[in-house]
Amino acid sequence: MDAATVVDIGRGALWAVMMISAPLLLVALGVGLFIGVIQAATSINEMTLSFIPKLVAMGLALSLFGGWQLAMLVDYTKDIYKRIPALFS
């Protein structure tokens, strides 16, 4: 196995992680920013106030994007398994 193969597998893994985690992270960022703006406008400084809306939004995002995330993870795993014979030859 040469260095180019290792770099290619690592790049593919990082890309898969980024694509799988991006929808949930963006939803959490958006809800957190929205709640933060509301807290700043109303001068409510309760740290736990944003937890429940984020939890609900993340649950909805996971139910919406979960099938796509799982399919992407399965495709990446299949691709890695297909590469195994070529790695040792």
pLDDT digits (tens, 9 = 90+) for 31-81: 999 999 999 899 888 878 888 999 999 999 999 999 999 999 999 999 999
Residue 10 has pLDDT above 90, yes or no: yes
Q: Which pLDDT value is given to residue 30?
A: 96
Buried b (16+ CB within 10 A) or exposed e, 66-75: eeebeeeeee
As for how many domains the chain has, the answer is: 1
Domain residue limits at 11:
3-87
